[in-house]
Amino acid sequence: MLTLKQIREERQRTVERLAVKGVDAAPVIEKIIAEDDLRRSLQQRLDGCLAEQNALSKEIGKLFAAGRREEADAAKGRVTLLKEESKKLEEQLREAADRMNALIVTLPNVPTEIVPAGRSAEENEVVKITPLPEALPEGALPHWELARKYGIIDFELGVKLTGAGFPVYKGQGAALQRALISFFLDRNTKAGYTEVMPPLMVNEASGFGTGQLPDKEGQMYHVTQDNFYLIPTAEVPVTNIYRDVILDGAELPVRMTAYTPCFRREAGSYGKDVRGLNRLHQFDKVEIVRIERPENSYAALDEMVAHVESIVKELELPYRILRLCGGDISFTSALTYDFEVWSAAQKRWLEVSSVSNFETFQANRLKLRYRDADRKIQLAHTLNGSSLALPRIVAALLENNQTPDGIRIPAALVPFTGFDRIK
């Protein structure tokens, strides 16, 4: 959530940068400032009423003591009127603040200056790309056919048990899932991230804190009886660990990693791009989350990008890194880099990670702050990244490494799988 200070003091920049996201923020900001002006005026009037009440309350006792009963009674009558007026002003003040906050939460985060203009994913900037491998031999299969051939993923059984988008992993397929999770967590913890194991359901406050609510409630599975939400990513519970917390500056940076299943309704998804593992309703993902001082957060983002890149390299997958344009960047992000790996059989790029800096946007919602050496309290910056999401990694591993003798397992992964080939 944008801060009121940001909206008022950086009004022109906010309008200009949000236009990069395709948002015409000027009319909304005008209403926000009008509500804030009204709120400030009401607060001044309320402060005046309360000050007069306090002064008269002190005076009444003195008037009675001096035998000036008539003046004391008049003062009491005035206090009664002031209390009624104060009550009305407090209600008007709450209503103005509610209207203002309801407008503020509709505004997305302001993209940083290097976020390029653009309306769709086709206009994202490629900042790095590795050479593509030689074409697969004729007769190479897409991963969903390979999964059936080797009996490692059963999509039909998942439909029977739950529905489309809930595959069942079997044998070496299940072992590969477990190995990738362990491999990712191992690399993250060695890089200084503390592993946590959070709940898979969160309350409404947690969904609001990281920006999924009210923006993405239609994409989340909702347990209506308890008003809980199944998590779309570990980012939500892990970042919310520090909701309503004031950290000591010496505790920063905070680095956390977590493995969780993730649940997404993916409403409206259809067609060839959602076949097999390309888009699921339930999938496994390992996440990294950081809480940083504002002055360090973009160096931290670069570190996270380099860390994710090192893992993809170990998996021996061709990849590219994209800087997302305004039209493709998320509601909450100020800057995002996407990682995509090459799917050799499908001949297309598959997104496997997003690494983002949210600056103070989430922290303002979370009331996540830190106290510096000078005792000043300010909002922290939050960042997160997929490290990594499993389904499309598995798809690329299966397709890119298929041989007449089975599917080859990358060398870095063999200690975690216990086998070097799926047969």
Query: pLDDT (tens digit, 9 = 90+) per residue, 22-58?
Result: 999 999 999 999 999 999 999 999 999 999 999 999 8
Residue 116 in domain: no
First to last CA, the chain: 51
CB 53 within 8 A of CB 75: no
pLDDT of residue 208: 97
Phi-psi label, residue 276: left if phi above 0, alpha if psi -120 to 50, beta otherwise: left
Within this chain, do residues 93 and 141 fall inside the same structural domain, yes or no?
no
Q: What is the pTM of this model?
A: 0.93
Residue segments in the chain with a per-residue pLDDT below the cut of 70: 267-273
**Angle at Cα 306 formed by Cα 301 and Cα 308, nearest 5°?**
95
pLDDT of residue 266: 84
Domain range enclosing 60: 4-104
Within this chain, do residues 145 and 170 fall inside the same structural domain, yes or no?
yes
Within this chain, do residues 25 and 166 fall inside the same structural domain, yes or no?
no
- Cβ neighbors of 313 (< 8 A, separation 6 or more) are 319
pLDDT of residue 61: 86
pLDDT exceeding 70 applies to what percent of the chain? 98
Q: Which of 69, 104, 139 is the last residue of a domain?
A: 104
Q: Which of 49, 73, 104 is the last residue of a domain?
A: 104
Number of domains in the chain: 2
**Angle at Cα 294 formed by Cα 377 and Cα 212, nearest 5°?**
90
CB 408 within 8 A of CB 401: yes
What CATH number is associated with residue 258? 3.30.930.10
Residue 99 in domain: yes
Within this chain, do residues 233 and 151 fall inside the same structural domain, yes or no?
yes
- Cβ neighbors of 59 (< 8 A, separation 6 or more) are 75
Within this chain, do residues 87 and 200 fall inside the same structural domain, yes or no?
no
pLDDT exceeding 90 applies to what percent of the chain? 91
Which of the residues are catalytic? 264, 279, 351, 354, 392
Within this chain, do residues 98 and 208 fall inside the same structural domain, yes or no?
no
pLDDT of residue 274: 79
Mean pLDDT of the chain: 96
CB 170 within 8 A of CB 151: yes
CA distance 45 to 90: 10
Residue 135 in domain: yes
pLDDT of residue 270: 58
pLDDT of residue 138: 84
Per the listing, tokens 């080859």 go with 408
What CATH number is associated with residue 35? 1.10.287
Query: pLDDT (tens digit, 9 = 90+) per residue, 102-121?
Result: 999 999 999 999 999 999 99
CA distance 349 to 249: 41
Residue 194 in domain: yes
CB 355 within 8 A of CB 301: yes
pLDDT of residue 267: 67
